[in-house]
Structure 1
């Protein structure tokens, strides 16, 4: 092709692209293309096999009678468009859930026509969002949701709970609270951990909760082998559901903590020597399994145990999923109706819980429905503290030592002295061998106590650190007993 013809093709492509598409950049410098009047945006450098902007541009040019162009002309035109877009205003792209104007929230239904759900103070509506308000980013993990039903009168919640095998009202109301929390773009929600005996339908229940948000194509996955693979999967979708967990490494536990409350991953950009690629993520996480072994204290504060029981009547997979797909529009409509009521309810924010946003949501749910979600959430956190203590011999030994302290008393020692005393207490007169992972230095002991601090505080043992003129110390204290209430005084 002659140089003049190549230049002409480049200009035709650039003019056509700027006429039919809107180009902008995100905070990390990625340039996106958005067809005029449509809310879905695609990165212009995407080389995906389906739905890339390059393919979208080629099809549009050919369909509108401009002909086919060489790869060189396309590349040069996109290079120019990318350079021009770097001077445009920064806008964020969202997967599945996004904040809108005036406090509204948008839910992407994954439809080709762009119809989405706008949740606002007066209710929820179906609409195509203004590109200036919301830009959707879709991947192969973005499934299509049905149009939610209106005026369900809460029937969808009853239909959902009838299909699941939750063992008790506590797990049911916490599952509902989690679904409402998944529709909040700025509310970190704890990760439900569906547990129960074999045959209790943990995987099926996990799929149902996931598919309410992700559509019928949403499914459970095996736990990735490393942290990088987990982060890649999380960044490409909204709800990440991991099935049949039986063990959780320290690295994976820390990664899940970051996923629940939010973090950023930075790695070298491809085909560059000095540039980096930033990836921010905070996503709803769901886990299933019978037992994952020892749970670390920081992850325990971010979990939401949901217990299931074995059903008395078994159904075929085909029957179960056919019914679920049939009632999904009603279920989704009921969740949206409940979300509007919960957000309108006024409630105080509990200040003593780590996941304060979710605790406040539970309080709002109680104010709107009276389900008792906040009490159930506190009870499940208390059970998780028991699990942490049962799996940590150091925590058990510290609690055993604290029993010798009178209420209101405290004891200060250096970390090395604490290590000697706790080791002697654990070994006892029979000189039991120390377990694997027992602290070997005072510094290791101090670090372990920092992780256990919230768990021990929940059992009435306060751990603090300080310094004298000569050395640092660790203080163990038991707070004084609270004064008796009026009812207790009347009982006496």
Structure 2
């Protein structure tokens, strides 16, 4: 048993903040202690140590010792694909912080983004989880003669000066910083517009996988399990999304947790805490809930005028990957260095994902990005306005409340509902799109308030004077905000009053 003791001390084990136990393995890899793969690894180590095949009892004894050591040991987070090494809170390259991108190749190489630059290395301070399906990234081209705009041009279905190219680049850049909220990239377009191909291409830039595009899971549990098994989540051809999955994707985008009962147990809990970049493709927007749209970058595609053979496209994509990845990493390094030595200017009315907005503007100062900060800022803001308009077009009350705010309103929810019903087109009333009770109207106002605020509408709730002390709602326009556009002519097309998914 001396050999078992020696191995128990030689093998590095630890646990993560969710309680999962891990074992370090070659090369730069972490294995779940309870996995079959880890058992095979331990068996191989015993075979080399003992000189003969170990018995099941010996294997079980070693795993038990490793389990006890891991439970009593330090807490270490185990990343997938991208890691942030930090000395403390925040992130500062000048303090020795780093971004590490796992190429997941046979040599165990990574790209280290630090104050010294973006360098290919075999960094040994972090071990990565490499679940089944995870594929290696190409060695990035880290030369001086690359920029994201030029490198992306051959693989995107729109020109380099199109704002959508900037949006795609911002999504990819942000995905390389796992400690900030991640955008949900929603790619919409008619059949034959190349949505699935674009989603696959963008995912493979950061996190290639044997199954790059998947059908959406049916439950929150399955969604978080998918997030624990890959870095980029890409779901293809959605026709809609249920509220609980919309909320779960919001949590995964900004960083959230989920707990569930461990299978085959009554009182053991499994906890997932993840933050992931997300890609969704659909013909129509999958939801118009404001909290989801606030985290969304939108790419709208049209039918491709010229169809190209898929093998030719794949060859082009493969040829461009290394240059795109290299340009993104160099842009990221320049942005993080700039962040070290000067404070970012305070943005007026920034995107909900303000870290993404600031990172993109700093990257735009790099010669490796390809756009000016003014162009990037305009593209992000224009995209946000485009996304918000989806909610306005689908909501039965936003335009009506904006019109009332223009005139000024103060009254109870019942009085407000009466006013809105008087303004609403008859077709809306017949379809039942309007809130049907004061309580339902109150919930709708709370849900739409971020969009209303962006249109300059102020919603105030207060108590009236004694003795009634009624709850009053006051609507007005913010004089400092841009005046919301006048109400558009009412359409009689029922499709324009689509119910909220």
- TM-score normalized with structure 1 length: 0.87
Counterpart of 2:347 in structure 1 is: 350
Contact 1:148/1:333 (<8 A) preserved: yes
Q: Distance in 1 between matches of 2:413 and 2:364?
A: 44
Contact 2:259/2:272 (<8 A) preserved: yes
Classify the secondary structure of the residue corresponding to 1:477. strand
Counterpart of 1:112 in structure 2 is: 106
What's the offset of the Cα at 1:62?
2.1
Contact 2:406/2:476 (<8 A) preserved: no
Counterpart of 2:9 in structure 1 is: 18
Q: Distance in 1 between matches of 2:427 and 2:183?
A: 41
User: What is the correspondence of 1:196-215 to structure 2 with a 5 Å cutoff?
Assistant: 196-215=189-208
Contact 2:3/2:49 (<8 A) preserved: no
Contact 1:243/1:288 (<8 A) preserved: yes
CA deviation string 1:370-405 (max 9, x = no partner): 051111111111112211111111223212323333
Counterpart of 2:166 in structure 1 is: 173
CA deviation string 1:416-451 (max 9, x = no partner): 332233233326xx6963534532332221121111
CA deviation string 1:346-384 (max 9, x = no partner): 542425232111111232233334051111111111112
Contact 2:456/2:482 (<8 A) preserved: no
Q: Distance in 1 between matches of 2:101 and 2:280?
A: 23
Classify the secondary structure of the residue corresponding to 1:244. strand
Counterpart of 1:29 in structure 2 is: 19
Counterpart of 1:4 in structure 2 is: none
Q: Distance in 2 between matches of 1:92 and 1:66?
A: 34
Counterpart of 2:121 in structure 1 is: 127
Whether 2:243 is the aligned partner of 1:250: answer: yes
Count of residues paired in the alignment: 460
Counterpart of 2:359 in structure 1 is: 361
Counterpart of 1:426 in structure 2 is: 424
What's the offset of the Cα at 1:314?
2.7
Counterpart of 1:5 in structure 2 is: none
CA deviation string 1:128-169 (max 9, x = no partner): 2233xx221110142111111221512564242222103652
Q: Distance in 1 between matches of 2:378 and 2:121?
A: 37
Classify the secondary structure of the residue corresponding to 1:118. strand
CA deviation string 1:278-328 (max 9, x = no partner): 110110001122213551111111110123344443321112112322332
Q: Which runs of 5+ in 1 are unaligned?
A: 1-7, 406-410, 485-492
Q: Cα 1:156–1:363, aligned 2, differ >3 Å: closer, same or farther?
A: closer
Counterpart of 1:490 in structure 2 is: none
What's the offset of the Cα at 1:198?
2.8
Q: Distance in 1 between matches of 2:436 and 2:67?
A: 56
Whether 2:153 is the aligned partner of 1:153: answer: no
Contact 1:143/1:216 (<8 A) preserved: yes
Q: Cα 1:298–1:70, aligned 2, differ >3 Å: closer, same or farther?
A: same
> Which 4+ runs in 1 deviate beyond 4 A?
481-484
User: What is the correspondence of 1:364-383 to structure 2 with a 5 Å cutoff?
Assistant: 364-368=362-366, 369-370=371-372, 372-383=375-386
User: What is the correspondence of 1:51-450 to structure 2 with a 5 Å cutoff?
Assistant: 52-101=37-86, 102-131=96-125, 134-154=126-146, 157-166=149-158, 169-215=162-208, 217=210, 219-292=212-285, 294-345=287-338, 347-350=344-347, 352=349, 353-368=351-366, 369-370=371-372, 372-405=375-408, 411-426=409-424, 433-436=429-432, 438-450=434-446
Report which stretch shifted further, 26-35 or 448-457.
26-35
Task: State which structure, 1 or 2, has the greater radius of gyration over its C-alpha atoms.
Answer: 1
Report which stretch shifted further, 442-451 or 74-83.
74-83
Cα RMSD of the aligned pairs, angstroms, is 2.5
Q: Distance in 2 between matches of 1:118 and 1:166?
A: 32
Q: Cα 1:124–1:321, aligned 2, differ >3 Å: closer, same or farther?
A: same
What's the offset of the Cα at 1:187?
1.8
Q: Which runs of 5+ in 2 are unaligned?
A: 87-95, 484-501
Counterpart of 2:489 in structure 1 is: none
